[in-house]
Structure 1
Amino acid sequence: MGHTPADANRDALRAANLRRLLNPASIAFIGGRSIAGAVQRCRDFGFTGDIYLVNPTHAEIDGVRCHASIAGLPSAPDAVFVAVPAVQTVSVVRDLAARGAGGAIAYASGFSEMGGDGTALQATLLETAGEMAVLGPNCYGLLNGLNGSALWPVAHGAARVDEGVAVITQSGNLAYNLSMSSRTVPFAYLVSVGNQAMIDVAQLIDAFLDNRKVRAIGVHLEGLTNVHAFSAAAARALAKGVPIVALKSGVSKLGAQLALSHTSSLAGSDALYDALFKRLGVIRVKDPVSLVETLKFLSLAGVPKNGKLAALATSGGDAGLVADLAETHGIEFPPVTSQGRAALQQVLPAYANIANPLDFTTTPWGNPDAMRVCCDALLSDDPGAAIMILDYPKESTGEHPDCDIAAHAFADSARRYGVTGAIISVFPDLTPPDHAAQMAAVGVAPLQGLSEGIAAIGAAMWYGATRSRILEADSLSALPVLQAGQGTGSSCLYDEWDSKRMLAEYGLTVPASELVPPADAPAAAQRLGFPVCVKVVSEQLPHKTEAGAVALKLDSPQAVAQAVERMTQSVAQYAPEVKVKRILVERMASAPILELIVGVKREDDFGLALVLGSGGVLVELIRDTATLLLPVREEDVRAALLGLKLGPLLTGYRGGRHADLDAVARNIMAIAKFAQAHADRLMELDVNPLLVLEHDAVAVDALIRLDA
């Protein structure tokens, strides 16, 4: 059954109620004696709206009045924290829906993550919620740093902010630890989603995109419940210029197993998630610290306008480290201009090496005017971003004032020249909180840790370049992933002859060939012209090489006849059930520059994915592949090809032949067009190898499996 008008109306009401939940004017807490502390936490956080306690057995808890029932509340609360056992949670949510509450956080575990009865209980929870928005179950809650609402079971360390980042995580413990971190990240929202029974990551992204105070969105994923919805939400974020930073766990085999059991969400293929994020301009990070530092840079400093970096350091060693780290992220260092060089020569000693990154030596240290000259010299030439490497020593050294002079000179130059700026400490613990707060207040990101800081800047530059490329190509509408059919469970495998004919109709280049009975193979070879190859054709024999059902480089009718006889005997031993009735005779292609494998794999959540890689005997050895989600653009195919480990072979590596890249891209796009045209039925497609030639490309083997 499709999405009915009634479904659409319910979804719209839930979306409105989700916004009530995220930005409440009134809050209720339902549970035992421990909930009284939540009231004080909200007041300490600065929440000024109404707060109610609901408990049927206590008139008051720790001096806070309790209401005996949900029906007896003075008004329907916008947001409710439900801290009762799983079975009781269902009845509480039913009463809240009847009262007209906006949304609820279901804190209890014991739902679908447990399987069995828990899955049924979660379904009942959704049914009883009606139009109300429910976050969880099995989730930690929600912090709103903009209005001070803390729907949270314990203490937290978040601070009030005027604007900042929204972070969505499937791990309650990670949410708690993020709130306690001392890395100066402005949390506008911190949300734990648990099982995502009703409200998933995509819906939260959509809601946050409607809030102008959210400058960036962080997402910690174990798995997505709706890839297509996430894709659409991320495309909307890209259009609005709100960066998304994703930390995806479940990469390892063990990690994937843990994700499946933890919140009942499938981790999926990491390569497909990687392809999804690249397609949508989603920044991917590898660990929580990188997540925090990247979000901090984006929210406080912003997105650099280009990939060029100006760097100032207090030592030559730090300058060298910056140069090395930046190179791995493709960051450019523009040379110091002649005007900048002249200015620096006025304040630096003769032995100073005037370059970018700049070691400004100790000469200008403690001198505000000299420090400003150093900063201006590098920042005035329109770099996309600028950094100063600055580690504060212990306060007892008395050197903090000199460090402050350098930091404020840098911040002043960054503001005057409109440069995205960051102060980076090599060692994370050498960033004092007061210094970090001062820098954040003037729009300079206080990044902690040199490697993580440079990676954050490189990621922000990648985001800016990716967004510009997509917007310039006007391809936002093509970003959401292709939705494939669900399939019936049974399938039809097509042999090589039929597979090639089907793909050729969409533009795939295949060799000149004939399909004949075994006795006619020599004559067919004579007609095609030597050398030829011959193959046994049968849908029961998809892997012909292992069966000895292929013979190459045959140069006479006699050689063809002998090869057919050998193959017939080999197949009889390998697969006695297969009767050799048809032989494919093909003209041999010339020696290729490279063999490629081009395949399409189907994933229920991701639709169809195009996989490109080095083919032939190298497939398993070097695992040189790239994955692109359909629909795909030709420029993305070209970039993926050139990004392979063996990609340099396509462009004349070390004086070698240049491949016909146009022909290669055209053939891959033909495969993609076939896949998109058969998205409702395609289960599997494999072209291996696609021979890359100097003046063409040709597919010499293919296999297609369609849903029956």
Structure 2
Amino acid sequence: MASHKDLTPLLSPKTIAVIGASEKFGAGSLVIENLRTLGFEGTIVPVNPGYTDVLGLPCYPSLADIPARIAIDSVAVVLGSGRILPMMEQAARRGVRGAWAFASGFAETGGAGVVLQKELTAFCETHQIRFCGPNCVGYVNLHDKVGTFSAPVSPTLKKGNIGVIAQSGSVVLAIANSNRRIGFSTIVSSGNEAVLDTVDYMEHFLDDPHTQVIAAFLEGIRRVDAFKDCCVRAAAIGKPVIVVKVGRSEMARKTVASHTGALAGSDEMNDAFFKKYGVIRVDDLDQLLETAALFSQLKDRLPHGNQVGMVTVSGGEIGLVGDLSKAFSFGYPPLSERAEKKLKEKLPAYTTIANPLDAWGSGDLKETYPACLDVLAGEDAIDLIAISQDSPPGMSDKQIDQYADVARAAVRCARGEKPVVVFSHVSGGLDQTIKGILDDGGVPFLQGTRESLGAIENLFTYAEHRRRLKKTLSGDGISPANLEALKADLQMKEGVLGYDDCRFLVGAYGIQVPEGKMADSEDEAAAVALKIGYPVVMKGQSPQIPHKTEAGLVRVGIENETVLRKTYAEMVRNIAAYDPEAELEGILVQRMIPTDSVETIIGIVDDATFGPGVVLGLGGILVELLKDATLRLPPVSRHDARMMIADLKGRQILDGFRGKPASDQEALMTAIVQIGQLATDFSGVITSLDINPLMVLPAGQGVVAADILIEMSPMAHPKTQQ
């Protein structure tokens, strides 16, 4: 049996008391009118001492006055914030287990509102009242024909398999009134989430047989671990989760002593979280609706790859599709010779045979479309077939007949092995005859070129996650005994780790460090250089100066002892000039790394909400300027590592550029996986790790950590734990 909250009293009640019911236009009347619009088959009980009946229903002065024979499952409270808690007290005495409140004036106002909400939370949790809100427009359950909703419910709202959760009431209204004619199971406005939060509704949707797709609008995630568990379970049972998460521009990350901390803002952590757990993130409500519409019909017919075969009736539209497709990862494979031959037999000689295909031909869509679709369906290189066809309301009967032939051809094609999608290039509706043909045939219809292509991309992304769900590989790490010993040793350290500790830790995870040694004098530095051989690199080491370049503490390409001694003296002066209080740990002398390597950065950041994240970027000392970086949550599989490299805008430099050899990307992937394992092993112990640069040598030669910065978490130190 599920251990989470049973939301039946709230979302599927048989009897609802409307406290604050009224004949006047407003929430007090709309709740009742909406229940009638939905076709609610249960009992509605108005409560208001100012009425004897409301909208033809007997009205009672209070909950206590309702006859005991009427068992109340849920209450809809349309009163002010100061009267919500007293109503909950009355509800508890009647054994009510579901409640919704429209009122604002709680935690969103601060001060006394925060206190009031805490009291409401404590009371409802003590009495196990499933409370929706406050400060929300309510919910609509279309399968059970019930809802407590403070705005008019459109009679065209369609029953289906998409469950919606939004922390914003206006977003719920926008979705409910979109007239998109996609089907919803339940739409919930969660509001302030004083008692029930997004996770509670997600858990309900995961158990609900009527809900097969979950769409959410998130302003924040309150219970990250529980949310993660929901996402993992959703992926396992095949219920896609699609979210709009606002806050992409927020710069809320705390300042840390590493470049990776500056790169990985809180929103990057959100992205990494969603990618890891198979959540599809979209940017706006149009993308949310189009992606949900596609998933609602194709989630059980996922494509095997990400190659599209497209048919349209316009060369101009092909150009538009080509331009917009640059933003996505899927492709349009060339047609086989067999396919080209068949199409030449069906289409006029002036037709350009290519993918995407302009199938206008002679204008006889009834003949050309089925022929073109049959050919694309037989192409092994194609995983999904997309049909571009606008069919707006208001067409003539002749146009409807012509486009109906296209719709029927799409339905016939969809009976084969490949999923089929029809889309229009503009939003604004679909002729109902065409819509009926496509709906009956299980073919999704999408609106808007960019939104439709984005939804197709999201379907490919979800399908790939499902395929790889059972193939996640983590790094080898180190033995449990060695890990505990190393962790115990590092927990005794504070602040920024010294060079030897850094070298030892990353070395334990198989990452090579250049041969070298710390020197305390010019003579010792010269001896180290003589031993390892010129040219060398010199780096001034101080715990108080984590970034050496700005302080003049890095010098490369030192060819002889004279330059070495001069550099040593300069670095000692530079440390004193940059920070008179800085402690000189020594001057590190290292073997020079070959110049045909590529500078990358790899590191760990620690987020207060999501925990550790692994960052990969290009640019070395220019990394913050270029901002070419990507992030994942550990553990990181080899596939994740490969995708991180693919995310980089400048990734082609790793393939070999302007005469440089191709870099060892296999070794880079291994390093990413191992740093992911380190992040998992030392979660809560390390605040940040920054290997900058991690030099990627030519193929087959590995990677080298040229410079390492590790900052310890103060919470891990024994002093903090006392």
TM-score exceeds 0.5: yes
Asked if structure 2 preserves the Cα contact closer than 8 Å seen for 1:599 and 1:685, the reply is: yes
Aligned residue for 2:539, secondary structure, equals strand
Aligned residue for 1:508, secondary structure, equals coil
CA distance in 2, matches of 1:628, 1:393: 42
Aligned residue for 1:536, secondary structure, equals strand
Shift of 1:338: 6.9
Shift of 1:574: 1.8
Which amino acid in 1 is paired with 2:5? A
Asked if structure 1 preserves the Cα contact closer than 8 Å seen for 2:359 and 2:368, the reply is: no
Say which is worse superposed, 287-296 or 57-66, in terms of deviation. 57-66
Which residue is equivalent to 2:85? 90
Aligned residue for 2:630, secondary structure, equals strand
Which residue is equivalent to 1:277? 274
Aligned residue for 1:412, secondary structure, equals helix
Asked if structure 2 preserves the Cα contact closer than 8 Å seen for 1:183 and 1:448, the reply is: no
Question: Are 2:14 and 1:25 equivalent residues in the alignment?
Answer: yes
Which residue is equivalent to 1:219? 216
Which residue is equivalent to 1:38? 31
Question: Are 2:438 and 1:439 equivalent residues in the alignment?
Answer: yes
Asked if structure 2 preserves the Cα contact closer than 8 Å seen for 1:158 and 1:179, the reply is: no
Asked if structure 2 preserves the Cα contact closer than 8 Å seen for 1:335 and 1:355, the reply is: yes
Aligned residue for 2:390, secondary structure, equals coil
Asked if structure 2 preserves the Cα contact closer than 8 Å seen for 1:300 and 1:440, the reply is: no
Say which is worse superposed, 592-601 or 325-334, in terms of deviation. 325-334
CA distance in 1, matches of 2:495, 2:583: 19
Which residue is equivalent to 1:15? 5
Which residue is equivalent to 1:264? none
Shift of 1:214: 1.5
Shift of 1:596: 1.2
Output the aligned Cα RMSD: 3.0
> CA deviation digits over 1:281-314, x for unaligned, max 9?
2222222111111111211344542333333323
| Number of residue-to-residue matches in the alignment | 673
Which residue is equivalent to 1:145? 142
Asked if structure 2 preserves the Cα contact closer than 8 Å seen for 1:145 and 1:158, the reply is: no
CA distance in 2, matches of 1:420, 1:82: 46
Residue number among 469, 488, 496 corresponding to 1:493 in the alignment: 496
Say which is worse superposed, 670-679 or 332-341, in terms of deviation. 332-341
CA distance in 1, matches of 2:682, 2:251: 34
Question: Are 2:610 and 1:610 equivalent residues in the alignment?
Answer: no
After superposition, the Cα gap between the structure-2 partners of 1:378 and 1:561, relative to the gap in structure 1 and judged at 3 Å, is: closer
Question: Are 2:56 and 1:63 equivalent residues in the alignment?
Answer: yes
CA distance in 1, matches of 2:604, 2:502: 13
Shift of 1:333: 3.6
Shift of 1:347: 5.2
CA distance in 1, matches of 2:587, 2:314: 73
CA distance in 2, matches of 1:664, 1:394: 54
Asked if structure 1 preserves the Cα contact closer than 8 Å seen for 2:107 and 2:117, the reply is: yes
Which residue is equivalent to 2:669? 665
Which residue is equivalent to 2:703? 697
Q: What does 1:183-582 align with in structure 2 at a 5 Å threshold?
A: 183-253=180-250, 269-302=266-299, 303-306=301-304, 307-326=306-325, 328-333=327-332, 348-361=347-360, 363=362, 365=364, 367=366, 371-381=369-379, 383-392=382-391, 395=394, 397-429=396-428, 431-473=430-472, 492-519=495-522, 520-580=524-584, 582=586
Q: Percent identity at matched positions?
A: 32
After superposition, the Cα gap between the structure-2 partners of 1:20 and 1:471, relative to the gap in structure 1 and judged at 3 Å, is: farther
Residue number among 72, 80, 94 corresponding to 1:77 in the alignment: 72
Aligned residue for 1:163, secondary structure, equals strand
Which amino acid in 2 is paired with 1:703? L
Aligned residue for 2:590, secondary structure, equals strand
Say which is worse superposed, 396-405 or 231-240, in terms of deviation. 396-405
Which residue is equivalent to 1:678? 682
Asked if structure 2 preserves the Cα contact closer than 8 Å seen for 1:365 and 1:406, the reply is: no
When the two structures are superposed, what TM-score results if normalisation uses the length of structure 2?
A: 0.86
> CA deviation digits over 1:148-173, x for unaligned, max 9?
11210120226465532111112111
Residue number among 108, 112, 115 corresponding to 1:113 in the alignment: 108
Asked if structure 2 preserves the Cα contact closer than 8 Å seen for 1:547 and 1:570, the reply is: yes
Which amino acid in 1 is paired with 2:388? I
CA distance in 2, matches of 1:603, 1:377: 51
CA distance in 1, matches of 2:394, 2:538: 80
Asked if structure 1 preserves the Cα contact closer than 8 Å seen for 2:124 and 2:195, the reply is: no
Shift of 1:351: 3.4
Which amino acid in 2 is paired with 1:560? L
Question: Are 2:91 and 1:101 equivalent residues in the alignment?
Answer: no
Say which is worse superposed, 648-657 or 448-457, in terms of deviation. 648-657
Which amino acid in 2 is paired with 1:576? P
CA distance in 2, matches of 1:342, 1:663: 45
Shift of 1:576: 1.4
> CA deviation digits over 1:93-118, x for unaligned, max 9?
23323433232223211122122222
Which residue is equivalent to 2:486? none
Unaligned runs of 5+ in 1: 1-8, 257-266, 476-487
Say which is worse superposed, 116-125 or 381-390, in terms of deviation. 381-390
Say which is worse superposed, 399-408 or 235-244, in terms of deviation. 399-408
Shift of 1:146: 1.1
Which amino acid in 2 is paired with 1:237? A
Unaligned runs of 5+ in 2: 254-263, 475-490, 718-722
Asked if structure 1 preserves the Cα contact closer than 8 Å seen for 2:392 and 2:431, the reply is: no
Aligned residue for 2:711, secondary structure, equals strand
Say which is worse superposed, 564-573 or 267-276, in terms of deviation. 267-276
Asked if structure 1 preserves the Cα contact closer than 8 Å seen for 2:156 and 2:181, the reply is: no
Asked if structure 2 preserves the Cα contact closer than 8 Å seen for 1:216 and 1:298, the reply is: yes
Shift of 1:472: 4.6
CA distance in 1, matches of 2:139, 2:331: 40
CA distance in 1, matches of 2:596, 2:348: 59
Shift of 1:336: 5.5
After superposition, the Cα gap between the structure-2 partners of 1:162 and 1:428, relative to the gap in structure 1 and judged at 3 Å, is: closer
Shift of 1:539: 1.5
CA distance in 2, matches of 1:393, 1:62: 40
Shift of 1:623: 0.9
Which residue is equivalent to 2:634? 630
Which residue is equivalent to 2:257? none
Shift of 1:592: 4.5
Asked if structure 1 preserves the Cα contact closer than 8 Å seen for 2:49 and 2:60, the reply is: yes
After superposition, the Cα gap between the structure-2 partners of 1:212 and 1:649, relative to the gap in structure 1 and judged at 3 Å, is: same
CA distance in 2, matches of 1:656, 1:224: 45
CA distance in 1, matches of 2:365, 2:595: 68
Aligned residue for 2:286, secondary structure, equals helix
Which amino acid in 2 is paired with 1:545? T
Aligned residue for 1:109, secondary structure, equals coil
Shift of 1:343: 6.1
Asked if structure 2 preserves the Cα contact closer than 8 Å seen for 1:157 and 1:181, the reply is: no
Question: Are 2:156 and 1:156 equivalent residues in the alignment?
Answer: no
Shift of 1:625: 0.3
Asked if structure 1 preserves the Cα contact closer than 8 Å seen for 2:251 and 2:265, the reply is: no
Asked if structure 1 preserves the Cα contact closer than 8 Å seen for 2:251 and 2:266, the reply is: no
> CA deviation digits over 1:301-358, x for unaligned, max 9?
4454233333332333334434444454333445556776676566544433444433
CA distance in 2, matches of 1:434, 1:409: 11
Asked if structure 2 preserves the Cα contact closer than 8 Å seen for 1:164 and 1:299, the reply is: yes
